[in-house]
Amino acid sequence: MMLSAIFLHAMMALVVASQDTAEKKGKPNFIIIMTDDQDLHLNSLDYQPAVQKHFAEQGTFYQKHFVTMAQCCPSRVSLLTGMAGHNTNVTDVFPPDVLLDPYTYLYYNATLQRNQDPPRSFPGEYNTDIIKEKALGFLDDAAAADEPFFIGVMPIAPHTESPASSGGQAIPEFFPPIPAKRHENLFQGAKIPRTYSFNPDRPSGGSYVKLKPKMNDTVLEYNDEFYRLRLATLAAVDDIINEVFEKLEEHNLLDNTYVIYTTDNGFHMGQHRLDPGKACPYEEDVNVPMFIRGPNVPKGVTNNSTGNRCQSPSKSMRTRVLNT
């Protein structure tokens, strides 16, 4: 089981302190739910009651958790290895192993592959719901095996719809994300927070950023709807969260399972006059949501210690945690 250094860094003291409990219950399980391109600074978490219920109230929020590269694949590899991109040599976006390109970022025509099985397409089915059903199935399998497990649940929300995420184009096309039909009318009137850096009257930043023109009302209206659609796609992620915890309770696994909620990178929308996107060294892009809940993790706590995905504990501490 490959665990990220951030998991160990955040939980090693808690797990080591709970050795007596672990000896009674066996080695703990780990689940990570990771969204794609979810912001922290644009207040998306405020629109997710399941995150508030299961993570904010029942776990610890790491408010100053940063990614070292604000881009999908490099950040995900750093999470799993505890190493920066210049050490993993993953510094750009490559096709994933389960959701298959060029269908990865299609909300209604995903193609998946499990192990060596032939790829299977799901036309007309909602991508996030498919991931949910796969995750619940893996949880059933893990419970039946009666052994410690690690499960990664990786919905694409709230990433853009991208019908050509590969396919030979130098630059793929990006469109606003598509919510599940049951959620498509949610959050009417929601707007991007008008913070001090949002579409400023005077240019800010360096390099090309200071050359960006001020956004006009038409662009702002488009981006506000883009923002609303991002929030609406996260409602299906909330469904995943609720049903994962229901499944853990059904199998009597909740008390011995650490569950992490995070994302691969943040997102900006109008800050510093920037068009919607990521990969910039601004807090909107690099400071991301990170929650952990589980045995002996403080509940309802905000931890303001600065952390990132490449902090490795000592070898001896790593061994103690994994053998708990």
Q: Dig out the tokens for 174 from the structure.
A: 């990006």
Tens digits of residue pLDDT in 14-29: 544 445 454 556 899 9
Q: Do 106 and 172 touch, CB atoms closer than 8 A?
A: no
**pLDDT of amino acid 316:** 31
Tens digits of residue pLDDT in 115-134: 788 888 999 999 999 999 99
- pLDDT confidence bin for 318, thresholds 50/70/90: very low
Full set of structural domains in the chain with CATH: 5-19+26-322 (3.40.720.10)
Q: What stretches of 70-194 adopt beta strand conformation (E)?
A: 109-112, 120-123, 150-153
- pLDDT confidence bin for 82, thresholds 50/70/90: confident
Please give the share of the chain, as a percent, with pLDDT higher than 90: 61
Query: Nearest CA to 36 among 81, 76, 86, 82?
Result: 76
**pLDDT of amino acid 119:** 87
Local structure of residue 56 (DSSP, 8 states): I
Q: Do 181 and 197 touch, CB atoms closer than 8 A?
A: no
Query: The whole model's pTM is what?
Result: 0.86
Indicate the burial class of 203 (C-beta count within 10 angstroms; 0-12, 13-18, 19 or more): middle
Q: Dig out the tokens for 283 from the structure.
A: 């807090």
**pLDDT of amino acid 5:** 47
CA–CA distance, 174 with 164 (Å, rounded to integer): 8
Q: At a CB cut-off of 8 Å and minimum separation 6, what does 257 contact?
A: 28, 29, 30, 31, 248, 294
For residues 262-288, average pLDDT: 93
**pLDDT of amino acid 320:** 33
DSSP, collapsed to helix, strand or coil, labels residue 263 as strand
For residues 218-223, average pLDDT: 97
Q: Do 256 and 25 touch, CB atoms closer than 8 A?
A: yes
Residue bearing the bigger pLDDT, 309 or 148: 148
Sign of the Cα pseudo-torsion (277, 281, 282, 283, in order): positive
From residue 179, give the alpha-carbon distance in Å to each of 101, 221, 233: 20, 19, 4
For residues 192-217, average pLDDT: 92
CA–CA distance, 174 with 163 (Å, rounded to integer): 8
Q: At a CB cut-off of 8 Å and minimum separation 6, what does 54 contact?
A: 241, 242, 245, 259, 293
For residues 236-256, average pLDDT: 97
DSSP, collapsed to helix, strand or coil, labels residue 134 as helix
**pLDDT of amino acid 162:** 86
Q: Do 58 and 295 touch, CB atoms closer than 8 A?
A: no
Query: Nearest CA to 4 among 98, 83, 95?
Result: 83
Residue type, 305: S
